Amino acid sequence: MPHLLIIGGSDAGVSAALRAQEVNPAWEVTVVVADRYPNYSICGLPFWLGGEVADWRDLAHRKAEDIEGQGIRLLLEHTARAIHPAEKTVTVVDKAGRSQQVLYDSLVIGAGAVPARPPIRGLEQPGVFFLRTMADGFALRDYLEARSPVSAVVVGGGYIGLEMAEALARRGIQVTLVEYLPSVLTTLDPPLGALVGEELNRRGVTVATGVAVEAIDRQGGQLAVIGSGGFRVEADLVLVATGVRPNADLAEAAGVETGRWGAICVSRAMETNVPHVYAAGDCAETYHRLLERDVYMPLGSTAHKQGRVAGENAVGGQAAFAGTLGTQVVKVCDLVAARTGMRDDEAREADFDPLTTQVETWDHKVYYPGAHRLHLRVTGDRRTGRLLGAQIVGHRAAEVSKRVDIFAAALFNEMKVKELNDIDLSYTPPLSTPWDAVQMAAQAWMEGRGNPEVKPC
The catalytic residues are 43
Question: What is the H or E stretch that residue 439 is in?
Answer: helix 437-449
Distance CA 71, CA 424 (A): 44
- What per-residue string of b and e applies to 269-287 under the rule 16 or more CB within 10 Å gives b? bbbbebeebbbbbbbbbbb
Q: Which amino acid is at 133?
A: T
Q: Which is it for strands 206-209 and 174-179: parallel, antiparallel or unpaired?
A: parallel
CA atoms of 237 and 73, how far apart (whole Å): 39
Measured CA to CA in angstroms, residue 309 lies from 18, 369, 443 at distances of: 11, 45, 38
Three-state DSSP at 249 gives helix
Closest CA to 223 of 121, 313, 76: 121
The DSSP secondary-structure symbol of 168 reads H
Identify the three-state secondary structure at position 335.
strand
Q: How far apart are CA 282 and CA 305, in angstroms?
A: 12
CA distance 108 to 9: 11
Measured CA to CA, the distance from residue 274 to residue 287 in angstroms comes to 19
User: How many Cα atoms sit within 13 Å of 137 on the Cβ side?
Assistant: 23
Residues paired with residue 332 on neighbouring β-strands, in sequence order: 335
Phi then psi for residue 200, to 5 deg, are -65, -40
Contacts of 210 (CB under 8 A, 6+ apart): 179, 180, 181, 182, 229
